[in-house]
């Protein structure tokens, strides 16, 4: 997948996060419920980019960064439940 494709996916996630924020949807559980369709796109970005590319996308698209952080925290919480 090309850098432009990763940017397109990140921009799409960022745009939806901005829409949710405009609608007053700001808490993590509500965001997770509303953004489940973007999990595959986030996964593609996560496994397909270098650390540098991921940082660049996060800096360019703050909504993408916030969604990635929420998903990472949710994943960590789920892992900790299993211990």
Tens digits of per-residue pLDDT, 35-78? 999 999 999 999 999 999 999 999 999 999 999 999 999 999 88
Task: Look at residues 52, 59, 51, 42 and name the one whose alpha carbon lies nearest to residue 6.
Answer: 42
CA distance 44 to 1: 9
Q: Which pLDDT score is estimated for 34?
A: 96
- Binning pLDDT at 50, 70 and 90, where does residue 79 land? confident
Q: Which pLDDT score is estimated for 7?
A: 97
Q: Which pLDDT score is estimated for 80?
A: 87
Q: Work out the average pLDDT over 25-44.
A: 96
Question: What domain count does the chain have?
Answer: 1
Q: Which pLDDT score is estimated for 78?
A: 85
Domain that holds residue 8: 3-82
């Amino acid at each position: 997948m090309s850098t432009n494709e990763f940017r397109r996916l990140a921009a799409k996630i960022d745009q939806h996060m901005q829409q949710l924020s405009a609608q007053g949807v700001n808490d993590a559980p509500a965001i997770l419920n509303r953004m489940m369709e973007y999990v595959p796109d986030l996964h593609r970005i996560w496994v397909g980019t270098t650390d540098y590319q991921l940082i660049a996308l996060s800096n360019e698209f703050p909504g993408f960064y916030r969604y990635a952080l929420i998903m990472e925290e949710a994943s960590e919480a789920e892992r900790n439940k299993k211990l």
